[in-house]
Every structure is written in structure tokens, then in C-alpha cells.
Amino acid sequence: MKSFFVDLHIHIGRTWTGKPVKITGAKSLTFTNIIKHARHEKGLNIIGIIDCHSPEVILEIENLISKGEVYEHPDGGLVFGDLTIIPGSELEIYDEQSNGPIHLLSYFPSIKIMKVFSGWLSGHLKNIQLSSQRIYVSGRELQKKVKELGGIFIPAHVFTPFKSLYGKGVTHSLAEVLDPTLIDGIELGLSSDTKMADQLQELHSFPFVTNSDAHSLAKIAREYQVMAMEKPTFKELKMALKGEVDRKIIANYGLDPLLGKYHKTVCSHCLHQLDKNAGFCTNCGAKKIIKGVADRILELKTAEEGPENRPPYIHQVPLEFIPGLGPKLLDKLLSYFGTEMAILHEVPYKAIKEVVPIKVADLIMKAREGTITLAAGGGGKYGKIADENS
């Protein structure tokens, strides 16, 4: 069994002709740019690009296939050298059951099946070209269609305050909105980790995935997992999520929740951190409060700890968060050591400190070891490293 680096939530910002897909995504996030960056700069083995239902994106993929730059694997997935792309789609539901909006992820083995799904979607949403569109069917209807097409179904960033299963404060149980038997995994989001999520008993039966939700090339692989599979294909990914025949998630790598944008409860106006029960901001007097993920999970808590067989969740600070490590130094590191995965997992300290200043090398090693000092984020503002070397 081999180990593979996997990030299953990457957005497309623009089509190859420049039309918007994810409006808040960077213009540089075209399908072609993503696969090149994920392979050559990040060192990932499997990525999920979750805006592949957009017709112009499908055309770009078909063009790459026709030119022989990408090919479809018999076991599912689009192959680009040593990188496999899993075509996916992020959709938003908002019905009587969900009291949404709630974002949901679907993945499919081939571009042919994605085209069928896109055709079906076009009859249930207003703009098939765009990402994360509201689909006018229930969550359960969407699940049934995904499974009918042999797809993978995963609720997205389930604890973030906006557009998530638990975040808004109305939904208290997954089963209120979705069919638990048709869920293949739970995406944790940037402000939570395994220990936090396992305080909900109903999540104990699902595998957890940690993905970047990248809106720019730099954000790809800020969160990811290592999976044990025979080869990087859709079929093997499905087996790894189910834990079948020695396929499994080995470990999740993600931000310490303190670095997440929504960890703490804050005032939406001045971002002053507040008690979870605050009715107004004690700093500026504003009344709109954004409840943090940590406080929301405590409201929903039904368990003290999770199942024994959970893979470890390893807190890892992405290189772009390291103070003093700007684009030029990062490019220098990449020119020496190849990819970010190599720098984060393999390159020894002795080699790193020969390329960058010692204080930056020290922070990289502390980030690896989980010993770096952090200041919590909230209200849409990331936490930050608060280290003596920064």
C-alpha cells in the first residue's frame, strides 16, 4: 500500500476564456493552472476540483484530454502525470428541512458522468456556469442523484458560521437534513479539528476529511490528508473513505483551529473577542455577533471523546503563514527542494537553514512539531503566529 497526499476542495476562479466560476476565487484559478500548481509546486497526488459542473470547465477538460495532456483512468479520475484530479461540484441547499444555506460536495469518476450531472443540475439551479449555486431540490434528493451516478457525497466545512450544516445555529442533527447512509465523509473546515468534531456523537461513524477550500493557488494544500491506497484513482479513494481492504486515511493535516477564521466568537464590526452568550459588543456596542466554531460545538456537544480508530489530526502551519517567509524565499525553497509537501514532511532542518534565515527555519520546524505559539482568529480574520522569532 502506498501513501498519497490528498486535497479534495479546490475552487475554479475563472474559465479558460476568463468567465467567472467562483466569483470570490482568484482569476489565476483556471483548471489548467490548478493542476500544474498542485502537481509541481504543492506536490499533491490527488485533488478534488469542485466546480467541474460548469460547462466551460468541462470544455477545457475535454480539450486537455483531446491534446493528450490529461487522460481518464479506467478506475476513475483524470490523470495529469503523477497527479489525479477528481471532478467535483459544490452546491448550496436551502429548503424547509435545512434552514440553510448549507454547502455540499459531490465527486464523480469521469467527465462523462460529470456532464450527465451538469445536465441534471441545469434544470434545478439558476446559473450552471457558477460555483456553489443554490440548487432547488432537497439535500436528500441531491444525495440520491449523486449516488445514482456512482458519486461520493460529503457535507462541506460543517462547522463554519455561514453556509454549513451546523454553523447557522438552527440545525442540531445531521439527520434533520440528510440521509446519513448516503454520506461518505465529513469535511471539518478550517476552524475545527478531529478532537472538536468528535464531541458530536452522530459524527463518530463517518470519516473526517480536511481540505483547503482554496480560493487562490497559494491556499491549495493548506489542509489535506494522507491516504493509504494502491494507486491514486476514484475507486481507491472511495475504498479509503470506507476503510476497505487496508485502504484508509492515515492522517489529517490541518491548521490548528486557533488559526481558523471563525474559531472564536467575535463582534462582526470590530472583531473584538466575546463571550459566547454576549448580546452586544463590549468594545464598540455593535449588536451583530459571529459565533465561533468552538462555542457552537460546545452547544451541540453529546460526547466526551471519539472512536479509538480515528486517524491522528496533525496541526500543521502552511508555509504562507510563516512570518518572514515571503514569495521570494518560498520560491528559493521550492527551487532547492521541489514541492511544499517535501519541505513540510521530508527536508531536514540542516538543509532548510542553509537556504533561509535561521529564524525562518526555526519557525518551519516549530510549525512541523506543533510547538509554535498562536493567536486565535475569528469573524472572518485568520489567527496568526505569535512567536518570539516573528
Q: What pLDDT was estimated at residue 389?
A: 45
Average pLDDT over residues 27-54: 96
Q: What pLDDT was estimated at residue 213?
A: 95
Q: What pLDDT was estimated at residue 98?
A: 64
Is residue 319 scored above 90 in pLDDT? no
The set of cell numbers assigned to 254 is 490541518
Query: CA-based angle 366:255:331, to the nearest 5?
Result: 65
d(CA 105, CA 84): 18
d(CA 42, CA 338): 9
pLDDT band at 142 (very low <50, low <70, confident <90, very high): very high
More confident of the two residues 321 and 356: 356
Average pLDDT over residues 282-286: 83
Query: pTM for this structure?
Result: 0.92
Is residue 117 scored above 90 in pLDDT? yes
Give the β-pairing of 289-290 and 71-72: unpaired
Q: What pLDDT was estimated at residue 255?
A: 83
Which of 243-252, 320-329, 361-370 is most confident? 243-252
d(CA 65, CA 215): 25
H/E element, 91: strand 83-93
Give the β-pairing of 208-209 and 186-187: parallel
d(CA 56, CA 256): 36
Q: CATH assignment of 2-257, given 3.40.50.12160, 3.40.190.10, 3.20.20.140, 3.40.50.2300? A: 3.20.20.140
d(CA 263, CA 151): 31
Average pLDDT over residues 364-386: 76
Least confident of 151-160, 196-205, 208-217, 250-259: 250-259
Amino acid in the structure at residue 111:
I
pLDDT band at 2 (very low <50, low <70, confident <90, very high): very high
d(CA 246, CA 210): 20
Is residue 64 scored above 80 in pLDDT? yes
**Cell 533561509, located at residue:** 356
How many CB atoms lie under 10 A from the CB of residue 305? Answer: 10
d(CA 282, CA 272): 8
Amino acid in the structure at residue 285:
G
Q: What pLDDT was estimated at residue 47?
A: 98
More confident of the two residues 29 and 386: 29
Is residue 330 scored above 80 in pLDDT? yes
Answer yes or no: are the C-beta atoms of 379 and 266 closer than 8 Å: yes
Q: What pLDDT was estimated at residue 293?
A: 87
Average pLDDT over residues 202-207: 97
Answer yes or no: are the C-beta atoms of 44 and 83 closer than 8 Å: yes
Is residue 380 scored above 80 in pLDDT? no
Average pLDDT over residues 4-12: 98
Q: What pLDDT was estimated at residue 259?
A: 77
Is residue 169 scored above 60 in pLDDT? yes
pLDDT band at 322 (very low <50, low <70, confident <90, very high): confident
Which of 212-221, 290-299, 309-318 is most confident? 212-221
Is residue 126 scored above 50 in pLDDT? yes
Mean of pLDDT over the chain: 91
Q: What pLDDT was estimated at residue 321?
A: 83
Determine the 3-state secondary structure of 21 from DSSP: coil
d(CA 264, CA 295): 7
Is residue 378 scored above 80 in pLDDT? no
More confident of the two residues 255 and 66: 66
**Cell 483547503, located at residue:** 212
More confident of the two residues 191 and 124: 124
Query: Domain extents for the chain?
Result: 2-257, 318-371
Q: Is the dihedral of CA 237, 242, 248, 253 positive or negative?
A: positive
Q: What pLDDT was estimated at residue 6?
A: 98
Is residue 390 scored above 50 in pLDDT? no
Q: What pLDDT was estimated at residue 257?
A: 82
